[in-house]
A and B are shown apart, each in its own frame.
Chain A
């Protein structure tokens, strides 16, 4: 994990000179631990910034909210917003830039590198130290995690508690930044899509029973949608708000409204919702794992998005989030795209 002292100095300077409106970063949670998103408006608060393996959140979601807020204001503050990004989050910024959802001048990117480690997975940590409550996690010189509990310190190998996505991360450093803390070291990956093998090796019937069991549990709270930095459509297919019901709206108009997907949490509707979401994120999902982390029922949503990431790579040679100048996956084509499935 990179040291962020330089970054703090720079952040302080930015705020003092009024170059940024505010800075979105990570701070200590209400309990002192683990980290939580933090909004800094005053230069003296910069010391509250932290960077440790519990900074799991993808703060890019707040840029989407910021854009909405700005659109509502009559005379918006045009200064950029500072944001702390990890490698995966920086790729989310690239996708938003690629889609021209945000402007490069609207954001000041403070990149922090994970430097061969990454962020921890809560559930893995809880399994590793049953019954104990971690208070602090540090990274030592050998890239091992040192977990401090009430009973003392425990050393844990990185691979044991790292989040699954970090183990399959292609670039654990920011790909776009105005200021970078830490080194840009690429970790070699043997199997970038290794976690998918477990599901892919199953037969079609077994895959179906796996997904049915998983998605049957979905309560349609839409936490996955709320946490996702890419889910910024003004109107979502699952809640059509376009039809303004007024006194003049006829019963016929109400009846004719298209309801693509029903709201009830039945397995067929859940499946269609998650399929639509997966397709919408094809070539856009940067595997930050927020949907899975936000899910109150621990549905492995990441496997849906990761599968499409894999297909995009294998079928079209498309890698998401590295170049904002490239067209998006489904808004371009090549003459030699595979068509062996077409009659």
Chain B
């Protein structure tokens, strides 16, 4: 593996909390690795497991799903559904042998810019030793 390998992370951020949190990190000029491709979704509960499999399929090295803290969901209970569903996805990905670190989930509120930068920093640090994700990746 080359020294300068930079993992690519696809981050699904909910519009009401995590997106605003990443925005806060941006406007506050906080520094974090540029390895993230953020995708805004309306709610973490709207994320189909297929999005995650598809992101890995198109070459993502890691996938992050981030939503509002439990109880803070704009749609009252979307993140509770996400928590249940994505727990199963995580277990399934582990079961077929994908590294556990590649799929992560977090709660980031609109005020937690620092937490968001920390999560991305940690994520990148964990992904670097793993090298590129080739298991689910479609051959070009």
Contacts and interface: CB of A to CB of B under 8 A. Distances in A.
B104 A279 contact: no
A316 B97 contact: no
5 contacts: A268-B138, A276-B50, A304-B95, A311-B91, A342-B107
Interface stretch (A67-75, A88-96, A168-176, A200-208): A200-208
Contact of B92 (A199, A208, A278, A338): A278
Contacts of B97: 204-212
A192 B126 CA distance: 36
A279 B119 contact: no
Contact of A271 (B81, B90, B94, B136): B136
B57 A272 contact: yes
Interface residues of A, number: 43
Nearest to B56: A272
Interface in A302-343: 304, 307-308, 311-312, 315-316, 329-331, 333, 335, 337-339, 341-343
Interface string A264-285: 0010110110011011001000
Interface string B90-106: 11111111111000111
Given A311-B88, A333-B77, A337-B83, A275 B107 contact: no
B49 interface: yes
A211 B96 contact: yes
A268 B97 CA distance: 13
Contact of A316 (B50, B84, B90): B84
Interface residues of B, number: 38
Nearest to A259: B54
Q: Is the interface of A mostly helix, strand, loop or mixed?
A: helix
Nearest to A269: B138
Given A342-B83, A343-B104, A343-B119, A275 B139 contact: no
Contacts of A341: 87, 90, 104-105
Q: Is the interface of B mostly helix, strand, loop or mixed?
A: helix
A2 to B, nearest CB: 36
Contact of B70 (A209, A331, A339, A343): A339
Contacts of A212: 97, 135
B62 to A, nearest CB: 13
A337 B50 contact: no
Nearest to B54: A260
Contacts of B89: 279
Nearest to A214: B96
Contacts of B74: none
B95 A307 contact: yes
A333 B98 contact: no
Nearest to A338: B87
Contact of A268 (B70, B77, B105, B139): B139
B59 to A, nearest CB: 10
B13 to A, nearest CB: 14
Interface of B: 49-50, 53-54, 56-57, 70, 77, 80-81, 83-85, 87-100, 104-107, 119, 122, 135-139
Contact of A330 (B56, B81, B95, B100): B81
A275 to B, nearest CB: 5
A200 B91 CA distance: 11
Nearest to B138: A268
A208 B95 CA distance: 8
Nearest to B95: A307
A261 interface: yes
A262 interface: yes
Contact of B139 (A208, A260, A266): A266
A150 B26 CA distance: 79
B91 to A, nearest CB: 5
Contact of A343 (B95, B99, B107): B107
A265 to B, nearest CB: 12
Q: Which 5 A-B pairs have the closest CB atoms?
A: A208-B97, A207-B97, A333-B80, A343-B106, A279-B49
B88 A308 contact: yes
A282 B54 contact: no
A261 B135 CA distance: 15
Contact of A272 (B53, B83, B99): B53
A237 interface: yes
Given A211-B96, A262-B138, A312 B88 contact: yes
Contact of A282 (B88, B137, B139): B88
Contacts of A269: 57, 138
A282 to B, nearest CB: 5
